[in-house]
Amino acid sequence: MISFSTKIKEEITSKPFVVEREKALLSAYVKTNGFISYGKKISIVLKTQNAKVAGYIYSLFDKIYQIKPNISFIKKMKLNKNITYSLSINGDIKHILDDLGIIFLSDEINLSFVKDDDLIGGYLGGVFLASGSCNNPQSANYHLEMQFDNLNYAKNIVKLIKKHKSKMFNPRIIQRRSNYIVYLKRSDQISSFLVLIGAEESCMEFENVRVDRDYRNIDNRWQICDEANLRRTISSAKQQLEDIRIVENKCQDELARSEKMRWLIRLRKENDEASLRELAEMMSDIFDIEISKSNVNHLFRKIHELAEGVK
């Protein structure tokens, strides 16, 4: 079963975007993931473990620059045996880098590729394809991140995310070993970010699972509260019945002067699990006047005081 991060990336690669957004995506992908190789020929090298991402980046170079990158792969024989795909782009490297606004030694993001929200979404989509991951929504720990080896570039990505017109994102940076992680933790921000980078279907899956789990959590919390209230009611009723036993044996004169107290004693003995609110409703029906929960509680306090006086 493929991971949720893989679903997001494969959804992005399946979307038809305008060429300007595709160039913003390609610029971010090469900037985040690429490096220059000085062999027999100078080339741009890109690596990924996702075959569809490799195919998508290949198609963008072919479409935009009429260049077919050389593709090779290495299969690891240990652990999870992942395949790493390597794309090598040859040709007029200077023209490609200039056209994509990339200077590898600079931490800056070329502003021509992020001049509006659609291009910001394209650029961040390229960053996510290169270094992003997102926890499965089934996990209780919401977390979306993108990884960088340059702190200043990571800070510029944070500024870019905050630049979006919605102003709703609050990305943070942490250091993990030698890398810098830009991350989002709030579920609503993760959902909006997925829409921004073009992964609407993944957003819907994320939201459906999240809402379903949150509903179950709310239901569980209500059940816990109900159980706690029931236990408290039963405990109170037990004390009230003990007070009633004493008062009925020793305080007949007091009971004779209070019809409400006599009725409340009768109702409690007949309904030992009823709450104060329920007893108040019963009393209201009997006397045909509004009797509140606090009125009932006051009567029980008087019964308790009488019982304590006898003790």
pLDDT tens string 232-260: 777 788 888 888 888 888 888 787 788 88
- Residue 224 pLDDT > 90: no
Nearest to 58 by CA among 48, 70, 50: 70
| Domain closes at, from 178, 198, 218 | 198
Per residue in 45-81, pLDDT (tens digit) is 999 999 999 999 999 999 999 989 888 888 766 655 6
Of 153, 174, 198, the one marking the end of a domain is 198
Asked, for residue 219, whether it belongs to a domain, the answer is: no
Residue 6: pLDDT over 90: yes
Q: Which residues pair with 175 in a beta bridge?
A: 180
Choose the final residue of a domain: 198, 222, 242: 198
Considering the domain architecture, whether residues 20 and 167 belong to the same structural domain is answered as yes
Q: Is 98 left (phi over 0), alpha (psi -120 to 50) or beta?
A: alpha
Q: How confident is the model at residue 225 (pLDDT cuts 50, 70, 90)?
A: low
Residue 218, in any domain of the structure? no
Count of structural domains, the chain: 2
Domain match, 160 and 245 both: no
Query: Quick one: pLDDT at residue 78?
Result: 61
Position 122 pLDDT exceeds 90: yes
Shared domain check, 253 and 160: no
Residue 223 covered by a domain: no
Query: Comparing 276 with 147, which gets the higher pLDDT?
Result: 147
Which class for 300: exposed (0-12), middle (13-18), buried (19 or more C-beta within 10 A)? buried
Q: Residue 222's pLDDT is what?
A: 64
224 belongs to a structural domain: no
Length of the chain: 311
Does 151 lie in the same domain as 293?
no
Q: 88 and 14 in one domain?
A: yes
Question: In this structure, is residue 169 part of a structural domain?
Answer: yes
DSSP per residue, the chain: ---HHHHHHHHHHTS---HHHHHHHHHHHHHHH-EEEESSSEEEEEEES-HHHHHHHHHHHHHHH----EEEEEE--STT--EEEEEEE-S-HHHHHHHTT--TT--PPPGGGSSSHHHHHHHHHHHHHHHEEE--TTSSS--EEEEES-HHHHHHHHHHHHHSTT-----EEEEETTEEEEEE--HHHHHHHHHHTT-HHHHHHHHHHHHHHHHHHHHHHHHHHHHHHHHHHHHHHHHHHHHHHHHHHH-HHHHHT-HHHHHHHHHHHH-TT--HHHHHHHHHHHHTS---HHHHHHHHHHHHHHHHHH-
pLDDT band at 156 (very low <50, low <70, confident <90, very high): very high
Residue 79: what pLDDT? 56
Q: Is residue 213 part of a domain?
A: no
Residue 127, pLDDT score: 96
pLDDT at 197: 94
Top-confidence residue, 181 or 42 = 181
Region for residue 224 given its phi and psi (left: phi exceeds 0; alpha: psi -120 to 50; beta: otherwise): alpha
Proportion of the chain above pLDDT 70, given as a percent: 92
Whether residues 192 and 237 share a domain: the answer is no
Range of the domain at 135: 4-198
Answer yes or no: is 67 within a domain.
yes
Stretch among 7-16, 19-28, 260-269 having the lowest mean pLDDT: 260-269
Residues 75 and 168 placed together within one structural domain of the fold = yes
Confidence (pLDDT) at 218: 64
Does the residue 211 lie in any domain?
no
Return the percentage of the chain with pLDDT > 90, whole number.
40
Give the rounded distance of the alpha carbon of 186 from its chain centre. Answer: 5
pLDDT in the model for residue 209: 83
For 269, the token pair is: 């003995």
- CA-CA-CA-CA torsion for 163, 169, 172, 178, nearest 10 degrees? -70
Tell me the mean pLDDT in the region 72-98: 81
